[in-house]
């Protein structure tokens, strides 16, 4: 069962106050040891392919690359990020895979010119890639007709999802691939977040049916991502052994049918980085309005958008300036600085504002939003012309700046006032 403190003074052995002093606030801080530990959790799988959309800083990609993780990219610039972080192109399995439902012009050029493996999520991708790269291997991402997610916005399967090739179109896709002499060497089936084992049995059965229809050209299957992490007090950790065993049994049956080994990949994003991340913010106002107490921070949904998008819950802790870890607690609403009513960290899906039980705190003290390593910085924005936060990686007890805070000059770079005649 997970437990989260409501007071803290350190992150990975480094003083929060010192981190704030050195790097200012708001700032994202990542604990490298947690990322390494989560990667080790998945050692039973043949390969772990990091879904970099969760947290794509070059230092995080480099850390995972050096520890043996492969990488998934969902855009042209994510492919370029992977290359910049030291990932190579050649290898079996391919170090970089492009997974998407479309090609834009640059992503297609990169995949063709740099021989980056493609995981096709639409018939149009097969047509466009096959027209320029006949004879190559591809993977198909299949939508089995159902999905699963902790939120309707994280459900990536079923008839209302844009993702993947609809299972009833598989025969047409195989014919199209054959016409372009493309070899379907892998299958991918990611239908959303969560790891309900009864639901997972359906996914494994669907994968097996699809693989049998494709035939023995299949040499790899991917579980996709979506592995959950605990965000709330008392949440259980996912049973990784049971999760692996279901997929391994599926793999073994396919190996028996095909007469050759089948690689088993998993593709986590959130699972590897969420628990490593902390967003440190300074409390800039403590407001009492009717029966409510507000802690207003210098960080808002421009820094961490998950609460406003999904109603996502994040554990929080206060950093007491006097070191008192036993302050009285009170129910508070935690919000940010934006000129926007929805700029509230303590809200549920649908925008319903709720309170959180936190220690009493004062202006100038720090609040830490925890489990913020996934879909934090990467979903940030410049709303209200606020700069993107700095990012820091703690490795072996030392804090390293891995992204400088955005400056005003960075913010307006590329903007041009045209010369207009009067």
Catalytic residues, by residue number, are 339
Q: List 137's β-bridge partners, or say none.
A: 183
Contact present, 93 and 267 (Cβ < 8 Å):
no
Encoded tokens for 53: 């959309």
Q: List 318's β-bridge partners, or say none.
A: 7, 367
105-111-116 Cα angle (round to 5): 160
Backbone angles phi, psi at 6, to 5 degrees: -100, -5
Token look-up 């979903």 returns 379
Contact present, 268 and 42 (Cβ < 8 Å):
yes
**190 to each of 18, 174, 309, 352, how far by Cα in Å?**
41, 20, 21, 30
Give the Cα separation of 221 and 203 in Å (integer): 12
**Helix, strand, coil share (%) of the chain residues, nearest 5:** 30, 25, 45
How many helices (H) and strands (E) are present in the chain, helices listed first?
Answer: 12, 22
Instruction: Of 78, 147, 69, 67, give the one whose Cα is nearest residue 106.
Output: 78
Contact present, 392 and 23 (Cβ < 8 Å):
yes
Contact present, 162 and 114 (Cβ < 8 Å):
no
Instruction: Of 220, 251, 297, 285, give the one whose Cα is nearest residue 20.
Output: 297
Instruction: Of 380, 393, 368, give the one whose Cα is nearest residue 304.
Output: 380
**Who's near 129: CB < 8 A, 6+ residues apart?**
103, 108, 111, 112, 118, 120, 136, 138, 180, 182
Can you give the length of the chain in residues?
A: 422
Q: Which helix (H) or strand (E) holds 267?
A: none
Q: Transcribe 17-34 into DSSP letters.
A: HHHHHHH-SSEEEEEHHH
Encoded tokens for 20: 């704030």
Encoded tokens for 151: 């939120």
Give the Cα separation of 55 and 277 in Å (integer): 10
Give the Cα separation of 9 and 16 in Å (integer): 6
């Amino acid at each position: 069962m997970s437990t989260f403190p409501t007071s803290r003074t350190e992150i990975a052995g480094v003083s929060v106050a010192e981190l704030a002093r050195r790097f200012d606030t708001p700032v994202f801080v990542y604990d490298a040891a947690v990322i390494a530990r989560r990667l080790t959790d998945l050692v039973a799988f043949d390969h772990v392919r990091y879904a970099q959309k969760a947290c794509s800083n070059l230092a995080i990609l480099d850390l995972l690359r050096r520890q043996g993780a492969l990488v998934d990219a969902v855009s042209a610039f994510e492919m370029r990020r992977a290359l910049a972080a030291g990932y190579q192109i050649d290898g079996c399995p391919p170090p970089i895979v492009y997974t998407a439902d479309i090609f834009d012009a640059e992503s297609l050029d990169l995949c063709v010119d740099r021989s980056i493996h493609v995981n096709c999520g639409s018939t149009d991708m097969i047509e466009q890639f096959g027209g320029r790269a006949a004879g190559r291997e591809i993977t198909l991402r299949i939508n089995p007709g159902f999905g699963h997610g902790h939120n309707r916005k994280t459900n990536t399967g079923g008839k209302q999802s844009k993702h993947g090739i609809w299972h009833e179109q598989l025969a047409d896709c195989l014919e199209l691939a054959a016409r372009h002499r493309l070899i379907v060497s892998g299958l991918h089936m990611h239908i959303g977040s969560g790891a309900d084992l009864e639901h997972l049995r359906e996914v494994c059965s669907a994968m097996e049916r699809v693989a049998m229809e494709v035939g023995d050209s299949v040499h790899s299957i991917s579980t996709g991502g979506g592995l959950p992490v605990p965000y709330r007090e008392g949440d259980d950790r996912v049973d990784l052994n049971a999760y692996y065993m279901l997929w391994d049994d599926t793999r073994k049956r396919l190996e028996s049918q095909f007469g050759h080994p089948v690689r088993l990949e998993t593709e986590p994003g959130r699972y590897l980085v969420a628990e490593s991340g902390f967003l440190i913010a300074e409390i800039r106002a403590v407001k009492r309005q009717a029966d409510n107490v507000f802690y207003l921070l210098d960080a808002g949904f421009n820094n961490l958008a998950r609460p406003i998008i999904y109603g996502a819950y994040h554990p929080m802790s206060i950093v007491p300036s006097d070191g008192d870890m036993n302050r009285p607690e009170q129910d508070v609403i935690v919000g940010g600085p934006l000129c926007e009513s929805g700029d509230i960290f303590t809200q549920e899906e649908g925008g319903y504002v709720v309170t959180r039980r936190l220690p009493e705190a004062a202006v100038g003290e720090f609040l830490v939003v925890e489990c913020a390593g996934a879909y934090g910085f990467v979903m940030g924005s410049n709303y209200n012309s606020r700069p993107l936060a700095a990012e820091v990686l703690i490795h072996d007890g030392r804090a390293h700046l891995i992204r400088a805070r955005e400056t005003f000059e960075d913010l307006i770079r590329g903007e041009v006032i045209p010369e207009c005649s009067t």
